Amino acid sequence: MSIFQAIIIAIVEGLTEFLPVSSTGHMIIASSFMGIATNDFTKLFEVAIQLGAILSVVVLYHKKFFPLNHWLFYAKLFAAVIPALVFGALFSDKIDSLLESTQTVAISLFVGGIILIFIDKFFNKPTIEKEENISFVKAIIIGCWQCIAMIPGVSRSAASIIGGMQQKLTRNLAAEFSFFLAVPTMAAATGYKLLKAYKQTPTLLLNKENLVLLALGNVVAFVVAMFAIKFFIGILQKYGFKFFGWYRVIVGLILLALIATGYLS
């Protein structure tokens, strides 16, 4: 992987991590076009730079995360992340095998787009406007919805936001809780992936050039994600999810066409 390729993938990660369009799916698409999708370091890089993106949430919502004595807030996040930890541990190998499938990404983007186009009509009577009013049961249910996003192209953000709206959260609160939930979820996923990579192929992490690329990728993802979150909230308040739904449908159809004609494997 070159520095240019690392920057491109990091920009894609920062732009899409918190939007309901699937960051993993977009990174797979980007790396496939650059011909590095099946490279072991690319797969590690795409997971590891999520640390930079989640740091942007902690910075933007620092009043929520600090001081650390907000024990009820942290307890709900811990409860919500348990389903993903269990599901990820049980099906880790299967999930890894799907990360090379652009066809899975294309279908997931298209189907998820159709759902987002109509999601505001499905859940239009929210009753919960503040994070403090989210119960532990609701947090766990939202965490279960998040597990769907382990299929590339589904989008962790979209799945958890839909789960939040299904649990009567306003769409803004559902989006914010999705951001909060990303922190422990992605930190755990990244830590697990790095540990696994170190045990199986330590040279990936002990290589100086790779470490430089990982550091650069995290910095770029952090900066870009800061702007992407603010953009997302603005679009959400004005237009709802239709914008992102149509985007997913169009991109999904284009990808399916490219796969069918042999331009994308």
Return left, alpha or beta for 35; rule: phi > 0 is left, psi -120 to 50 is alpha, else beta.
left
- The rounded distance, in Å, linking the Cα atoms of 247 and 258 is 17
Mean pLDDT of the chain: 87
Residues 196-232: tens digit of each pLDDT: 888 888 888 778 898 999 999 999 999 999 999 988 8
Angle, in degrees to the nearest 10, between helices 71-90 and 136-146: 30
Q: What is the pLDDT of residue 243?
A: 87
> Chain centroid to CA 176: how far?
13
Work out the pLDDT band at 23, boundaries 50, 70, 90: confident
Give the model's pLDDT for residue 197: 80
- For 70-93, what is the HEC assignment? CHHHHHHHHHHHHHHHHHHHHCHH
Task: With a cut of 70, say whether residue 100 has pLDDT above it.
Answer: no
Q: What is the CA radius of gyration of the chain?
A: 18
Structure tokens at 43: 């797969």
Token duo for residue 139? 């947090």
What is the chain's percent helix, strand, coil content, to nearest 5? 80, 0, 20
Per-residue confidence (pLDDT) for residue 213, from 0 to 100: 93
Taking residues 244-251, what's their average pLDDT? 92
Q: In angstroms, how far is CA 71 from the centroid of its own chain?
A: 25
pLDDT digits (tens, 9 = 90+) for 149-202: 888 888 888 899 999 999 999 988 998 999 999 999 888 888 888 888 888 888
pLDDT tens digit sequence for 76-87? 999 999 998 888
Strand, helix or coil for residue 128: strand
What percentage of the chain reaches a pLDDT higher than 70? 97
Read off the pLDDT of residues 24-44 as tens digits, 9 standing for 90 and up: 888 888 898 888 877 888 888
Report the distance separating Cα 16 and Cα 221, nearest Å.
10
Q: How would residue 128 be classed by pLDDT, with cut points 50, 70 and 90?
A: very high
